[in-house]
Amino acid sequence: DIQLTQSPSFLSASVGDRVTITCRASQGISRYLVWYQQKPGRAPKLLIYGASTLQTGVPSRFSGSGSGTEFTLTISSLQPEDFATYHCQQLHSYPITFGQGTRLEIK
């Protein structure tokens, strides 16, 4: 099974900050890496797929990069609505796996 490890697990930041979350895969997954945002009590929302393609309607302050085993999600200037939990997911092969999540909180 492909393990995904997100870092950090918890991040405290301020509005306007630039933040980066990393997702590392235990083996190469090409660019089959997806990022989701989840707010408390809500379903996950698709942000980025194919490691770097922004889903329609997602603000351009979100960006993704990487291939193989190391991927990053960057938010260029945090807005109040961005404080949430972020999950990475690999769709390279079954079993599909998720990272453990990164909780982003307001400092």
Interface residues with another protein (CB under 8 A)? 31-32, 34, 36, 38, 42-46, 49-50, 53, 55, 87, 89, 91, 94-101
Shortest Cβ 3–another protein spacing (Å) = 12
Task: Compare residues 11 and 17 and give the one whose CB is closer to another protein.
Answer: 11
Q: Which candidate, 107, 33, 100, places its Cα nearest to that of 72?
A: 33
Are residues 22 and 70 in contact, defined by beta-carbon separation less than 8 angstroms?
yes
Distance, first Cα to last Cα, the chain: 36
Shortest Cβ 14–another protein spacing (Å) = 25
Shortest Cβ 52–another protein spacing (Å) = 11
Shortest Cβ 16–another protein spacing (Å) = 28
Task: Compare residues 48 and 75 and give the one whose CB is closer to another protein.
Answer: 48
- Dmax over CA atoms of the chain, in Å, equals 38
Quick one: CA dihedral 91, 1, 41, 35, positive or negative? negative
